[in-house]
Structure 1
């Protein structure tokens, strides 16, 4: 079993004993999403730690987008709940890249691919995405690639 999945289960038990409702519901939803991913398709299999990080990242992104939507609708109490859930998930994600680290990775990818303009953004993204997996939001990465290819 993936180490990260086992850690999630263990932390769920701890949160239940501590009666931490936000952490309990967040971890239950995350474990459910992981289980759904494992049984999806024809091959029922255990996810690797990297795949579990991908699922957690997707869940975290959902929370961030929901919080933004609730803020836009004036539902601050729901937005706060989504942010609290996202904070729980952040504990299980790798450390985010700093702006300077992201800039360096993108610059190296541009050099590697020889890209010279915005039309070649896809080639650069193909090289950068595996390097930043789970450590930077896709919007942030594409924004940096666009910025560097435009200048």
Structure 2
């Protein structure tokens, strides 16, 4: 079942349960997917494109979460945490630290990287492998640590 199909099913369930928060988040994500499809000139997005949109939505919320925490806006922090929880349901299983470390090590060997100067090559090779399964900043830190 595609992400869009799951979103449609869950939207109906949220409507019946009168779960306004879940319904709102699902509608936002569906709108983002619709906008992406229009931007790409397609009727439907592929599974990978859906995952890209979903990852972008989660990342935006995490970035906002960080800003709100710094500003001391606990009311908005709680709201964003709920939204992130709702979105995480649709994301693929996240890689463990060990699995991610292994992917980074293998990619460094494949690319033949030996110093921080090769960081861009390694990152561009790793990110497609872990798309939606790991946070980019976490991957960045691991690659930097491995190349040091």
Compute the TM-score of the two structures, normalised by the length of structure 2: 0.96
Structure 2: distance between partners of 1:99 and 1:44: 36
3-state SS in 1 of match to 2:90: coil
Shift of 1:125: 1.1
1:24 partnered with 2:23: yes
Shift of 1:118: 0.2
Structure 1: distance between partners of 2:51 and 2:10: 16
CA RMSD across the alignment: 1.1
2:72 is aligned to: 74
Shift of 1:38: 0.5
Cα displacement string for residues 39-84 of structure 1 (whole angstroms, at most 9, x for unaligned residues): 015x233101111111111101111111111111111011110110
Which 4+ stretches in 1 moved above 4 angstroms? none
1:89 is aligned to: 87
1:109 partnered with 2:136: no
3-state SS in 2 of match to 1:116: coil
2:4 is aligned to: 5
Cα displacement string for residues 81-116 of structure 1 (whole angstroms, at most 9, x for unaligned residues): 011000000000001111111110010011111110
1:14 is aligned to: 13
Taking the TM superposition and a 5 Å limit, the aligned residue runs for 1:119-134 are 119-134=117-132
Compute the TM-score of the two structures, normalised by the length of structure 1: 0.94
Q: How many aligned positions are there?
A: 148
Worse overlay, 131-140 or 60-69:
60-69
3-state SS in 2 of match to 1:40: helix
Shift of 1:5: 0.4
- Where does the alignment leave 5 or more consecutive residues of structure 1 unmatched? none
